[in-house]
Chain A
């Protein structure tokens, strides 16, 4: 029981075709690059975009199916929009009381409950202000209060921290975590910030070009990425290929030797620290050795990230001392090697 959705919709250039389940009470984070369809997916769940096909079910109640469509205003779903969209012509209290009025509460009852939520959010003093007089963080809390006062069973948050400046974001993230912990329903939060996703989410759902490419706990994503986007986020080298008798043939024909690879289509993840660089061809154990060209050098403080192109394009991470010993210069040739045991292979 939970949110169970399968959504197919064409929105502009985006071909949204995503399946998603979120357990009751869970905080799932929808992560993906710009334009991946994260916001569109949230809007689809809320009934704000027509679906070509699909099914949305919340705690066993069908909100959308080919035969039935519950309109947005009757879905038990709260939505916190990216730029909050507080009604500019209403006071803060009127904003928070709006939904209760819409559901038929009396004016005094709506104001009483609205004021209660403002107090919980520490915003009682701002009840009679217009939204434009609020800071970004205050506006965010009003938007949360406005959605939560409806006691939704599912809370959707679209980039709740993106509209805040960097200075207040850390503090607001802490507050957001606090508020979200106090909410018992199912939560789905959208972000394009991997750090935010990793710190906020029980489970991450990665969306790329309208499709869910991976779901898992932050730890699972960190260890076993299943797309180049996720691999880049967690800082791993990721290869895809076909394994047979201890060798993985990559898509470009290059080969990686990995005795434990098994057979079939596999991913191979390699941590940049497991990649060793040499001036001349190394002797001894490493079996994956190739020569490439230094394509990029990124200073990361104590360490350097070195991008090496060649038959296998890979990022290596070396200590500063090693980097200066190797006299790394962009455009020069260099030897790279990976120990077979450092390659983490898992099926596609």
Chain B
């Protein structure tokens, strides 16, 4: 039964205080966008968007953010399940660690990653000597930095969904002979699919906008590690028009994805 189909609810007027305060919030979100549109170099925009640098940054941003989302799902979903379903020693600590990137300034995250996985880092030193793998200045470096800041959104969303789902469905599956692995695949994951989707979208959005950890851990090299946020920063110092054009591209992509997925993953009303 939708809210629209219910005449009593359609006629009810929302309280004026809520409307006014809520409108302020909406305007607050809208205003910066208007500012961007206002100062956008509309005449030279096609030229900017056609330039190779920008195309490369755009492509890199999309590829890296999608990879980061995929990695977040692949590893974050199992972690969320463990946090929600298994009572193990140190669970509180792990949960805190998994949400730490949310509070940490991304630059700090980047430094920490550097100290762990950089060429001279704890694990990075060994990666370098044993496999000749260096992450600084590479696409995988960007993906790792983005995953680090994006995965908490997925873990948090999915863990909350796992905790609130009716676990008796899992019991029902067990009485039908399903192993825990089959229960996970065929019952648990499909039943939390909306939250998993929402978490993945949040993680993707966070990865797309990632700046601090990426620039610290992977560097700012055009065509290899310079994603759109990094390119905006670089352009801002040389050519503000280009920065605004890039920002518009980022805003457009994000809005299209978020608005189109919003109704699918967050059942509206």
Chain A positions within 8 Å of B, measured between CB atoms, are 43, 46, 48, 71-75, 77-79, 81, 85, 87-90, 98-99, 102-103, 146-147, 150
A287 to B186, CA, bound (A): 70
Extra 11 A-B pairs, beta carbons < 8 Å, given A74-B177, A90-B190, A102-B182: A46-B171, A48-B174, A73-B176, A81-B171, A85-B168, A85-B171, A87-B172, A87-B187, A99-B178, A147-B175, A150-B176
Question: Once the chains bind, are A99 and B176 in contact (CB under 8 Å)?
Answer: yes
A-side contacts of B176, CB under 8 Å:
73, 98-99, 102, 146-147, 150
Query: How distant is the Cα of A71 from the Cα of B178 in the complex, in angstroms?
Result: 10
Q: Is the CB of B169 within 8 A of A87?
A: yes
Least CB distance, B105 to chain A, in whole angstroms = 40
A-B contact pairs, 19 of them (CB 8 A): A48-B174, A72-B175, A73-B174, A73-B179, A79-B171, A81-B168, A81-B171, A85-B166, A85-B169, A87-B169, A87-B172, A87-B190, A89-B190, A98-B176, A99-B176, A99-B178, A102-B179, A103-B177, A150-B177
Q: Which residues of A contact B84 (CB under 8 A)?
A: none
Q: Are B168 and A89 in contact (CB under 8 A)?
A: no
CA gap between A41 and B231 in the complex, in Å:
64
* CB–CB B191/A85 < 8 A: no
| Chain B residue with the shortest CB-CB distance to A104 | B177
A32→B173 CA distance, assembly (Å): 27
| Closest CB pairs A-B (n = 10) | A99-B176, A79-B175, A102-B178, A102-B177, A72-B174, A85-B172, A89-B190, A103-B177, A73-B174, A73-B177
* B41 CB to nearest A CB, Å: 49
| B193 interface hit (Cβ, 8 Å) | yes
Residue of B nearest to A46 (CB): B175
Task: Among A48, A75, A147, point to the contact of B171 (Cβ < 8 A).
Answer: A48
The CB with the most chain A CB atoms within 10 A, among B176, B190, B193, is that of B176
Complex CA–CA separation, A146 to B175 (angstroms): 10
* Contact code string B155-182 (vs A, CB < 8 Å = 1, else 0): 0000000000010110111111111001
Assess A79 versus B172: contact at CB under 8 Å? Given A87-B187, A102-B182. yes
Tell me the bound Cα distance from A74 to B191 in angstroms.
Answer: 23
Contacts of A103 in B (CB 8 A): 177
Decide if the interface of chain B is mainly helix, strand, loop or mixed.
helix
Q: Which residue of A lies closest to B179 (CB)?
A: A73
B residues near A81, Cβ cutoff 8 Å? 168, 171-172
B191-A102 in contact (CB<8A): no
Residue of A nearest to B169 (CB): A85
Residues of A within 8 A of B172 (CB): 79, 81, 85, 87
A77 and B169 alpha carbons, distance in the complex (Å): 16
State whether A78 and B177 are in contact (beta carbons under 8 Å apart), knowing that A85-B169, A88-B191, A102-B182 are contacts in the complex. Answer: no
Give complex CA distance A218, B171 in Å: 32
Measured in the bound complex, the distance between the Cα atoms of B174 and A103 in whole Å is: 11
B183 to chain A, nearest CB (A): 8
Pick the contact of A72: B166, B171, B193 (CB < 8 A): B171
Do A73 and B168 touch across chains, with their CB atoms under 8 A apart?
A: no
**Per-residue CB proximity of B183-202 to A under 8 Å, as 1/0?**
00011001101000000000
A86 to chain B, nearest CB (A): 8
- Residue of B with least CB distance to A83: B168
How many angstroms between the C-alpha atoms of A79 and B178 in the bound complex? 13
State how many angstroms separate the Cβ of B112 from the closest Cβ of chain A.
40
A89 engages B191 (CB within 8 Å): yes
Taking CB atoms, residues of chain B closer than 8 Å to A88 are 191
| Chain A residues with CB below 8 A from B171, complex form | 43, 46, 48, 72, 79, 81, 85
Q: A99 and B177 in contact (CB under 8 A), knowing A87-B169, A88-B191, A89-B193? A: yes
* Docked complex Cα distance between A224 and B2 (Å): 54
Of chain A, the residue at the smallest CB distance from B180 is A73
- Measured in the bound complex, the distance between the Cα atoms of B178 and A75 in whole Å is 11
- Known contacts A85-B169, A98-B186: A78-B191 contact under CB 8 Å: no
A77 and B175 contact, Cβ closer than 8 Å, known pairs A85-B168, A87-B169, A102-B182: yes
Q: A15–B175 Cα gap in the complex (Å)?
A: 24
* Residue numbers in B under 8 Å from A72 (CB-CB): 171, 174-175
Q: Residue among B175, B179, B191 with the most chain A CB within 10 A?
A: B175
Chain B residue nearest to A156 in the complex (CB) = B175
Complex Cα distance A147/B173, Å?
10
A103 to B168, alpha carbons, bound, how many Å?
20
Across the interface, name the chain A residue whose C-beta is closest to B175.
A79
A78 near B175: Cβ-Cβ < 8 Å: yes
Distance A102 CA – B176 CA, assembled complex (angstroms): 7
Residue in contact with B173 in the complex, picked from A77, A102, A150, CB distance below 8 Å: A102
Residues of B within 8 A of A146 (CB): 176
A85 to B175, CA, bound (A): 12
| A82 closest partner in B (C-beta) | B168
> Using Cβ atoms and an 8 Å threshold, which residues of chain A touch B169?
85, 87
Q: How far is the CA of A87 from the CA of B175 in the complex (A)?
A: 13
What is the distance, in angstroms, from A151's C-beta to the closest C-beta of chain B?
11
Per the bound structure, the CA–CA distance linking A73 and B176 in Å amounts to: 6
**CB proximity of A77 to chain B, nearest CB, Å:** 7
Q: How far is the CA of A87 from the CA of B170 in the complex (A)?
A: 10
Closest chain B CB from A187 CB (angstroms): 15
Bound: A77/B174 CA distance, A = 10
